[in-house]
Amino acid sequence: MPLFDKKDKSRYATFTRRSLGLGGGMTMIFAILSGRLYQLQIRDGEEYKAEAEDNRVSERLIAPPRGRILDRFGVELANNRRNYRVMIVAEQAKDGVATALDTLSKVIQISDAQKKRITQTIAENKKFMPVPVAENLSWEEFSRINLHLPYLPGVQPDVGETRDYPYDLEMVHILGYVAAVSPEDLKGDDDPLLTQPGFRIGKRGIEKAFDREVRGEAGASRVEVNAYGRVIRELGHQDGVAGQDVWLTIDADVQKYAARRLGNESAACVVTDVATGDIIAMASTPGYDPNLFNVGITPDQWKGLTQHDHKPLLDKVMSGAYPPGSTFKTVVATAAIESGLADADYRVSCSGAITLGNHTFHCWQHRGHGSLDVEGGLKNSCDVFFYETARRLGIDKIQETALKLGLGAVTGIELPGEKSGLIPSREWKMRRYKQTWQQGDTVSVGIGQGYVTVTPLQLALQTSRIASGLNVSPRLVHMVGNQMRQRPTPAPLDISAEAFTKVRSGMNKVTNEPGGTAYAYRISEPGFEMAGKTGTAQVRAYTEGQNGGAITKNADLNWKLRDHGLFIAFAPVAQPKYACAVIVEHGSDGHPQCLMARDILLYTQKRDPLGKPTAYPLKAAANSVPAEDKKSGGI
C-alpha cells in the first residue's frame, strides 16, 4: 500500500507552493525593510538626524538694539528706553482669556478693540505663546499689575525695549518714526527680522532713510522644544549686532529754539552753514508726537492729524512747494548783473505800474519808487523794477541762473519725499499746456509769481550760495557708525563775484538802511547784523486794480486765502556764516517771518554751533530757550 495516495500528494504539492510563495513574500518584505533601514540609517542617516535635531532644537531670532540718532554734539535725538508691557498666556488663564482680560482691565485700561485684537492673535498662535496685551505702560501701571499678579492667572509682566524721541515735536520731521512692518515693507526686503512679531522699522525721515544701518543684525537663541513646540530649555544664546549710530549736522539747541520760535504757525525754517551746506536747524510746524506711531495711534488721533488745516504731517521744509514771491528778486538781480544788463548805468523808473499789452502790472507801492538801480530795486522790493528787468532778460537767462542757485531741482538731502519745485521754461509750458511762452509769463516770474515754485530748503540753499559764492549742497548726515560721510569741497559757482557782491549789498540795504523793506526787523547788535530779502506770495488771483491786498486786506480774509510770508537772510553781513529761510503760510500780515528769522539768526550766532568743537563727546548739550519763546508747536 503506498505511503501517500494521489489525493494526499496533491495536497502536499499545494502546501509546498503556498509555503514557497509565503516565504518568498516575506523575504521580499524583509529585503524592502532592510533596504529602507539602510537608506534611513546609513545612506541618508545624517540628513534625517539633522531634521530630527531641528524638530528638537528651535532657533529663534533676537531683535538687536536699534542704533541711536545724535546731533552734531552727541545729544541723543532718538534712543531706546525700557518698554514696560504685559503679556497673556492663554493656556495659563484658568477661567479663559476673556475672563482674564476683564480682570486685567480693572487694573489697567483695556479697550474693547484691544480685547478683540488680543483674542484674534491668540487664536492664530499656540496656546502657550505669550501674546502682548499692552505696551509702553507707565511705571505706576506696571507696578499695579505686579501688585495684583497673584489674582491675574495667565498674565505676565515683561520689560523690553522701545524707540523713544526726547525731542518729539521739534525733531519729528527730521527723524521720522518707527512703526510695525506692513505687507508692503516685506517686498524686496529679505531680512528675517521683518517677520518677527512686534518688530518695527523706520517709516519716515532719517529712521526710514537709514533703516538698514540703524536696524542692526539679528541675534539667535537655540532652545530645546517638545513635540508641541513648547520651550524646555535654552541651549545657546548669541546677541545680535546693535544698529549703527547716525550723527546729524543738526544742533539740537538751535533746532529746539527755531521750532518753538515758529510756535503754532503753519511755518517752516531752515538754518544752514553757508560754506559747507550743513543744516544747523530744519523746523516745520506744527509738529506731532512720533511716539504715537510707536505705541499705536488711535483712529481719533490719526483723524486729527490728517484733517488739521495746518497739515502737521507735512514736512513743509522740503515737501512744501510755494511761490517764492519777492525773495526770487535776488535771482533776477543776479541774472541781470551776470548777463551785463544791469551795469553801472542801469536804472528803471517806477511810477507804480507798467502796462504790457492790455494788462497792467502794479507795484506794491502805488505812488511808485522813482528811478532805481539794481540795489535800490532790492532794497525797496520794487515790483516794477523787476517786471521790466525780467522782461528785458527773458525767461531763458532767469531759468539758467535760478538752476545755478539751486532752485527747480531736488537738493539731494538725505531724506525721502523731497519736492523739486518748478522753474518754468518755454519747453516746459509747451509740454505742459501746449502753449507758447508769453512776455506776461516772464513778467510774473520776475517777482516770484506765476508758474515758479520753490521749497524752503531750496530758498536756504539759494541764500547760502549767494552768501558764499560756492556751489554748496545741503547735508544733514555727518557720520554713520564710525564712517565719516566724505564729500568734495564746494567749488565756486559759475557766477561772477561782481554779481554776488551787488546782490549782497542790496540785501544788506533791505535790512540795514532806512527805507529798506525789513529795516524795522534788523539785528541792531554790532557784529551780528543780517542781510535779507522779504517776500509775499499770493495764493489767490487779484481782480483788476487790486495789488497785494490793497483793496481787500489779508486780515479780512479767510486764513487759507491770505498771502504767504517769506524771508531769506544771511549773517553776519561782514563775514557770512549762516543762511536762514522762513515761510509762514498765510501769514504775511505783520511780517512774523522777519521777526522769526531775526531771532533765530541772532540766537544761532550767539550760540555759534560752528565755533564749538564737534568731537562728539556723548554728553547732552544744554537746551535752553528764552522764557518768552517757550511755545508749543504741536497738535
Catalytic residues: 326
- Which H or E run includes 99? helix 97-104
Q: Provide the pairing of β-strand 246-248 with 69-70.
A: parallel
Secondary structure, 3-state, 1-24: CCCCCHHHHHHHHHHHHHHHHHHH
Q: How far is CA 556 from CA 209, 365, 527, 551, in A?
A: 43, 20, 40, 10
C-alpha cell at 151: 489674582
- Which H or E run includes 460? helix 456-468
Q: How far is CA 382 from the centre of its chain?
A: 38
CA–CA gap between residue 160 and residue 83 (Å, rounded) = 5
Reading phi first (left if > 0) and then psi (alpha if -120 to 50, else beta), residue 8 is in alpha
| Bond prior to 286 in cis (omega within 30° of 0) | yes
CA–CA gap between residue 42 and residue 46 (Å, rounded) = 8
C-alpha cell at 241: 549686532
Counting Cβ atoms within 10 Å, is residue 42 exposed (0-12), middle (13-18) or buried (19+)? exposed
Residues, the chain: 635
Residue 536 forms beta bridges with which residues?
565
